Amino acid sequence: MRRWDRLVDAYMDEYRARGTCEATVAHTAARLARWGSWMKSRRPRPAIEAIDAELLTRYLEHSSHFRAKTTVYGTLSTMRGFGDYLAREGYWQQNPLRWMKGPKVTPYNRLPRRIDRVHMDALWQAAAQTQGEFSRTLWVTVLALLYGTGLRRGELERLDLEAFDRNKATLRIDGRKTGRERCVPVSDLVYRCLEAYAPARHNVLERTGRLGERALLVTRRGERVSAQAISNAIHIFARRAGVPLVTVHQFRHSCASDLLEAGVHLAEVQRMLGHQGIATTVRYAHVADPARRAAIACHPINDFLQAEVMAA
């Protein structure tokens, strides 16, 4: 197993060369490190070539205790990818992980969790009370982008300054997640937030000597705001405001649900969010469906109750 670490490093170099974001690379490397630690703790310690289906099954059972189905499936997917690499490099004759099935994960078995209006207002108030003029402007702009455009966390992190077209009031979103770039229009509020943030950003970069920085969102040190920093800030705002657990992705859910509730066509919401298939967008119709609410308002029970009230 002495070669394990070298092989993992070589695989991660290949994995990183695909254009995968650093957060995903780090997560994958951590999974492989846990697998390697478990293998190295076996006695007698197995050689890489001696790893068989039985040993793989034992590790999957070990790593599945008290884990969600999605976590188990993710672990299996990471192991399968590394197994393909070992087969390509000639360490395995075949990859037995190809025939191992993980738990059935249905991405549509739960309704998306949106943030209601009261909690959304509380989060904005918490962001507006951040100490420091630049930090306050930055995080209000981040919330405006998350809720106003439905961006994913990684897409927000990777936004560069040139992605914002001031004349057309649009943002160009990279296609790393979907394989296709998309252009998202911004509302007046989001536009005003970006316009207020732009000079503050320039002043920070000038002060830190980093005027060449391409990132749209930068820290007080003039560095690109990381995805983890965005998540940490959202959790801080939620705790300050006394709002139940809020994740960055809930802003995306809220954006889609509220647009549908406002009467925006399903296909337009699909294009804005960058969903490859409309089936993904349809989930939000179960959360916000004005047509369904209008239909239930026509239910005969309403007339019955009104007649009962009048009789009383």
Question: Which two tokens mark 205?
Answer: 């970069």
Does the active-site annotation cover 110?
no
Does the active-site annotation cover 180?
no
How far is the C-alpha of 66 from the C-alpha of 37, rounded, in Å? Answer: 19
Residue among 15, 85, 147, 284 flagged as catalytic:
284
Contacts 24+ apart (CB under 8 A), 234-242: 234/123, 236/126, 237/123, 237/126, 237/127, 237/139, 237/143, 238/123, 238/126, 240/126, 240/129, 241/119, 241/122, 241/123, 241/125, 241/126, 242/122
Residue among 113, 271, 275, 283 flagged as catalytic:
275
Report CA Rg, the chain.
24
Residue among 210, 224, 249, 271 flagged as catalytic:
249
Parallel/antiparallel/unpaired status of strands 164-165 and 182-185 = unpaired
Does the active-site annotation cover 249?
yes
Does the active-site annotation cover 252?
yes
Helix ranges (H only) for 150-187 are: 153-157
Does the active-site annotation cover 224?
no
Residue among 172, 177, 224, 240 flagged as catalytic:
177
How far is the C-alpha of 245 from the C-alpha of 240, rounded, in Å? Answer: 11
> Distance of CA 55 to CAs 34, 94, 215, 239, Å?
15, 15, 45, 44
Residue among 152, 153, 158, 253 flagged as catalytic:
152
Helix (H) or strand (E) holding 219: none
Does the active-site annotation cover 177?
yes
| Residues making up the chain, counted from first to last | 312
- 3-class state of residue 209 by DSSP: coil
Per-residue burial over 11-48, b if 16 or more Cβ lie within 10 Å, else e, is bbeebeeeeebeeeeeebbebbeebbeebeeeeeeeee
Name residue, tokens 């739960």. 110
Q: Supply the residues annotated as catalytic.
A: 152, 177, 249, 252, 275, 284
